[in-house]
Amino acid sequence: MLTESHDILARWMKHFSQLLNVSGVNDIRQTEIHTAKPIASEPSVSEAELAIEKLRRNKSPGIDQIPAEIIKAGGRTIRYEIHTLINSIWN
**What per-residue confidence (pLDDT) applies to 4?**
75
> Rounded CA gap, 25 and 3, in Å?
34
Rounded mean pLDDT of 48-72? 91
Over 80: is that where the pLDDT of 22 sits? Answer: no
**What per-residue confidence (pLDDT) applies to 30?**
56
> Residue 90 — pLDDT band, cuts 50, 70, 90?
confident
> Residue 32 — pLDDT band, cuts 50, 70, 90?
low
**Residue 15, CA atoms < 13 Å, CB-side half-sphere:** 6
What is the residue extent of each domain of the chain?
42-91
**pLDDT digit string (tens) for 64-89?**
899 999 999 999 999 999 999 999 98
89 against 35, higher pLDDT: 89
